[in-house]
Amino acid sequence: MARGLQTRARHVARRATTTGGSHLNVERCALNSLPWTLSELNVFFIMRRAIYPGSFDPVTNGHLDVIERARKLFDEVIVAVAHNDEKQALFSLQERLDLLQETAAKIDNVRITQFDGLLVEFAAAQKATAVIRGLRAVSDFEFEFQMALMNRKLEASVETIFLMPKEEFTYLSSRLVKEIARLGGDVSSFLPPAVAKALGKKFAASKKK
């Protein structure tokens, strides 16, 4: 959409909102004075946004696969690293954010950020309609199911959507990758190169100590 047309569309939407506000008003105005249908305007004005939360300690190819899948369903995906995660992380919060920035942020309309406090409060503040979680195996299900239902109880407007990564990533987890790397195994096929390098450095540094 050319910039002039965008400005005009915004003006029409604002006029519709100040004169009663509903989507129907937007539709009427749009149909009367603009060459676009409501669904075309929706694409322009209403962003479908999802949050993909986690510890990302570190981000793996499995996470990136889930982000790609989520991007096909949502206009924007916010990858949110939990700040007050109780787990003892190997990478600092800043390192995890940097690695995500270097890998996931290359995907169109993916934003990297951190959050603390309740996930659903963060999701609502970001105007996200969904929380994305990767589901690898039945063993993930019990905890994920409990968390999804609890989150729904806390904030009914945010849905949890489970996405299954590619089969080759179903046995992949950050925890296993860290353990293999710590014991000197090759993890390069599970991680983006920048992450494999950072993990190698971490363990090389801890061996020297």
- The set of catalytic residues is 63, 87, 136, 174
Does residue number 55 form part of the binding site for ligand PNS (CB under 6 A)? yes
Instruction: Return d(Cα 15, Cα 29) in angstroms, integer.
Output: 8
Binding residue for ligand PNS (CB under 6 A) from 38, 43, 89, 147? 147
Binding residue for ligand PNS (CB under 6 A) from 9, 13, 50, 53? 53
Instruction: Return d(Cα 194, Cα 99) in angstroms, integer.
Output: 7
Does residue number 140 form part of the binding site for ligand PNS (CB under 6 A)? no
Query: Could you say which residues in the range 89-118 bind ligand PNS, by CB under 6 A?
Result: 118
Residue 131, Cα to own-chain centre: how many angstroms?
Answer: 8
- Give the three-state DSSP class for 111: strand
* Nearest to ligand PNS of 45, 171 (CB atom): 171
* Nearest to ligand PNS of 54, 62 (CB atom): 54
Instruction: Return d(Cα 97, Cα 57) in angstroms, integer.
Output: 10
Residue in the shown chain whose Cβ atom is closest to ligand PNS = 54
Query: Could you say which residues in the range 153-172 bind ligand PNS, by CB under 6 A?
Result: none
Does residue number 119 form part of the binding site for ligand PNS (CB under 6 A)? yes
Q: How far is the CB of 62 from ligand PNS (least distance, A)?
A: 11
Instruction: Return d(Cα 37, Cα 23) in angstroms, integer.
Output: 12
* Nearest to ligand PNS of 30, 123 (CB atom): 123
DSSP string, 114-175: EE-S-HHHHHHHTT--EEEEE--SHHHHHHHHHHHHHHHHH-TT-EEEEEPPPGGGTT--HH
Residues that bind ligand PNS (CB under 6 A): 53-55, 82, 85, 118-119, 147, 150-151
